[in-house]
Amino acid sequence: AQKVTQAQTEISVVEKEDVTLDCVYETRDTTYYLFWYKQPPSGELVFLIRRNSFDEQNEISGRYSWNFQKSTSSFNFTITASQVVDSAVYFCALSEARSSASKIIFGSGTRLSIRP
């Protein structure tokens, strides 16, 4: 069975602080995809990143970075120099890569609040 755990329900930091959102996943598949989505108050799901299970290279995109470690089944997300606009709910998600019709399983989300 697949499962995504985001243990941090809510995080609140002051602007310009760095913040890391944790994500731990479970799957029996050897091939899978991991995702991060941002959901601002407006409600839409904003795609941030997709990572293939065979690619353990860390990725940096501006102030965002992701650390994928298969050994610990973790896919953590760090925001550097946080800004108020980063306030949102962030979801980590997992899907199998076996077929083209594999659904995405979401974690419970982490609500991030950035205080001015």
Partner 1 sequence: AAGVIQSPRHLIKEKRETATLKCYPIPRHDTVYWYQQGPGQDPQFLISFYEKMQSDKGSIPDRFSAQQFSDYHSELNMSSLELGDSALYFCASSPREAGGYTFGSGTRLTVV
Where does this chain bind partner 1 (CB under 8 A)?
33, 35, 37, 43-45, 47, 50, 52, 91, 95-109
Least Cβ distance, residue 46 to partner 1 (angstroms): 9
CB < 8 Å & 24+ apart, contacts of 6-12 = 6/90, 6/91, 6/92, 6/107, 6/108, 6/109, 6/110, 8/110, 9/108, 9/110, 9/111, 10/110, 10/111, 10/112, 10/113, 11/110, 11/111, 11/112, 11/113, 12/112, 12/113, 12/114, 12/115
Least Cβ distance, residue 97 to partner 1 (angstroms): 4
**Closest CB to partner 1 among residues 105, 112:** 105
**Closest CB to partner 1 among residues 86, 96:** 96
Least Cβ distance, residue 107 to partner 1 (angstroms): 6
Least Cβ distance, residue 114 to partner 1 (angstroms): 19
**Closest CB to partner 1 among residues 13, 49:** 49
**Closest CB to partner 1 among residues 37, 68:** 37
Cβ atoms of 64 and 72 closer than 8 Å: no
